[in-house]
Amino acid sequence: MLQGRRVLLAVTGGVAAYKSAFLARRLVEAGAEVKVILTESAREFIGPQTFAAITGAQPHMSLFGEPSVSPHTDLARWCEVVIVAPATASTIGKVANGISSDLVSATLLSAGSPVLLAPAMHTEMWEHPATQRNIKTLESDGYLFIGPVAGALAGGDVGMGRVSEPDEIVEAIERILSPDESGLRVLVTAGGTREPLDPVRYLGNRSSVKMGHAIANEAALRGIRVTLVTASNMAAGPTVTVVAVETADEMAEAVFGEDIDVAIMAAAVADFQPSKSSEGKISRTDGLDSIELIPTPDVLASVVARDPKPFVVGFAAETGGVERAIEKALEKKVDLLVYNDITEPGSGFETDTNRVVLIDSKGTTDAWPLMSKQEVASLLLDRIATMMAARG
């Protein structure tokens, strides 16, 4: 699928640079024409001759001393896609802040083609607020990300920050360069709704929105038309149509207005809302004896009830065994239900990982191991595609 496509591979300085040689080989085997840029620190981990032997061309390594007068703009204009693998915290920070101090960062700032970054770093660096802030900036600027995933890291450590595998990156590049042409319209809901008690206070939940946004971004990466109805201001991919909401009523209205083929209902919609919301802040001195609650709209049920019915995926964040989720899947008549026990390590709120169980319309379960939410999103979309294909 990459026959004749022009791929620029930027390799930055991390121990995961050795995997970039395998990535270059996979790209060449897929038929791509590959050019490589190495940062100075990347050359501490892997030599340029390795890439020269794999791609048939010497890597580019500096803004200066190149045959070209302007190597960064020439490379940026030549390629159809740029992949940065591994993408270190340093390179991510440079590009997010417009710093073009080496050939890689200067080329990325010149690129008009899609840019896919595959982060790799220790868990502490990945979770640092500065790194997360830089990633949000790049996402809002239209950059695409794959990974990282949880696994073995340098120095014997284990955790989030392992670079995605070369084959996964090649598949992502294929999806970028060969967008989905099925015309499917996919709706994703995300986040926890906030039901106002007064202008200051609300009833809500601890949903981090990460799962829903991961699904929307993965679908967009595949070239699918995606509408994301979200109760969060977290950045989404550049091709995702975002509809911002706050309450369950607003989410129900936004979902009702969308023509869709697939609905992935990852939002944690509040089950109840105050029967009335005070126009002014409720004073402590005035007291509050009770809060009368009324049910919110059942957004999932309204989608299932559509005629024709779209392919519907529900989510259930529960505590305890899977039995309650199986009952919910059968009761709600969804095509798939994604269940996770929020009390399990790595599977609760605010995590970058998830351990889920898929439940189909017959109550059959399929338990998946702990993996990143991006990996869950990718495998879930694969499962949806397989089930829809089986139904014709």
Q: Hey, which residues are catalytic here?
A: 205
Both structure tokens of 172: 């992502």
CA 151 from chain centre, in angstroms, equals 18
Fill in the amino acid letter for 92. Answer: I
How crowded is residue 197: how many other Cβ atoms within 10 Å of its Cβ? 18
Fill in the amino acid letter for 226. Answer: V
What length does the chain have?
A: 392
Q: For residues 169 and 122, what is the distance between their CA atoms, to the nearest angstrom?
A: 20
Bridge partners (DSSP) listed for residue 82: 8, 115
User: Strand, coil or helix: what is 382?
Assistant: helix
Q: For residues 94 and 102, what is the distance between their CA atoms, to the nearest angstrom?
A: 10
Q: Please, where are the H alpha helices in the chain?
A: 17-29, 48-55, 71-78, 89-96, 103-110, 123-127, 129-140, 166-177, 210-221, 248-256, 299-304, 323-332, 373-390
CA 189 from chain centre, in angstroms, equals 14
